Amino acid sequence: MADKTLDDLFLDTLKDIYYAEKQILKALPKMAGAAQSSELKAGFEKHRDETEGQIERLEQVFEMLGKRPQGKTCDAILGILEEGKEIMEEYKGTPALHAGLVAAGQAIEHYEMARYGTLKTWAGQLGLSNAVTLLDATLAEEKATDKALSGIATQSANAKAA
């Protein structure tokens, strides 16, 4: 197809992350349920609530484009979430579960940061300044979540070493 443009790519990628966010919304309560530390549990729960707002922002972006919000199967997030599920099953009840859950959470955030960073750039190139604002707000939440997870990992490693 020689006639596909950046507009098409932007819309397709929007559908990809919309699908991914809905999968993440279902996965986060399971990760919170598996977390043994109250801090990690609270972190996943807080981000679950933020994710609801992120889905709404994406719906607003679809609306700006005059499109119906629609997801498109994202194999990348399915793979990342599947790996997280494996960690929860295979490390259940072990001292390594905590580190594994943090790592699984960070893999999700890094995928989202890649997607939102790209979408924000493309929205700018397409002159969709309102979309840039919405995508940037979500990108900031994903980055903050990643940072919080890093903090939780460092704290628990220090506590163990002490």
Footprint of Fe ion (CB under 5 A): 51, 54, 109, 112, 142
- For Fe ion, the closer of residues 16 and 142 by Cβ is 142
Contact predicate 105/88, CB 8 Å? no
Find the Cα–Cα–Cα–Cα dihedral 131, 134, 138, 143, rounded to 10°: 80
Contact predicate 77/24, CB 8 Å? yes
Q: Residue 28 Cβ, how far from Fe ion at the closest point, in Å?
A: 8
Backbone Cα Rg of the chain? 17
- For Fe ion, the closer of residues 54 and 87 by Cβ is 54
Measure the CA–CA gap between 46 and 28, rounded to whole angstroms: 9
- Burial string for 17-29 (b: 16+ CB within 10 Å, else e) reads bbbbbbbbbebbe
Q: Residue 13 Cβ, how far from Fe ion at the closest point, in Å?
A: 14
- For Fe ion, the closer of residues 54 and 104 by Cβ is 54
Q: Residue 105 Cβ, how far from Fe ion at the closest point, in Å?
A: 8
Find the Cα–Cα–Cα–Cα dihedral 141, 144, 150, 154, rounded to 10°: -140
Q: Residue 116 Cβ, how far from Fe ion at the closest point, in Å?
A: 8
- For Fe ion, the closer of residues 79 and 92 by Cβ is 79
- For Fe ion, the closer of residues 16 and 109 by Cβ is 109
Q: Residue 11 Cβ, how far from Fe ion at the closest point, in Å?
A: 19
